[in-house]
Amino acid sequence: MSPQEVATVTAVLAVIKEIGTWPLFSMLAALVLGPWVGMFVIARGQEKRHSAVVQMYQDNVKLVESTQKIAEGFQDIVVLSTQTLTRVQSSIDSNLFCPLMRKDPKVERKVE
């Protein structure tokens, strides 16, 4: 070893002797364990966020199911309304009880 290398090693050992080994080991532990702790915290946050997204999708499924039930009921109402209006139109077209319709030849229509 060169004299400069020996001087450097001696200086590092003197610094370690002055500050003690606990700060050195705690810094080493922070460097080794710090990223693991950070990743655990980030993973926990992502887990909570993912569960919120899953809940949102489950709520959307419930919303779609209730909307389908409403749409089915609305379809029945539209069909019944259309049938009723068709019967009303037939009644109007075949109204032979109105005196004006029977007597005025311009207004009379052939009953189908």
Percent of residues in the chain assigned helix, strand, coil, to nearest 5: 85, 0, 15
CB 69 within 8 A of CB 85: no
CB 84 within 8 A of CB 92: no
Average pLDDT over residues 10-38: 83
- Tens of pLDDT, residue by residue over 25-76, are 888 888 888 899 999 999 999 999 999 999 999 999 999 999 998 888 888 8
Q: Which residue has the higher pLDDT, 111 or 81?
A: 81
Pick from 97, 99, 98, 94: which is nearest to 110 by CA?
94
CA distance 93 to 83: 15
- Tens of pLDDT, residue by residue over 85-98, are 999 888 777 766 66
pLDDT at 112: 47
CA distance 7 to 67: 81
Q: What is the pTM of this model?
A: 0.43
pLDDT at 55: 96
Average pLDDT over residues 11-32: 81
pLDDT at 99: 64
Segment holding 100, helix H or strand E: helix 99-103
Name the band, by pLDDT with cuts 50, 70 and 90, for residue 109: low
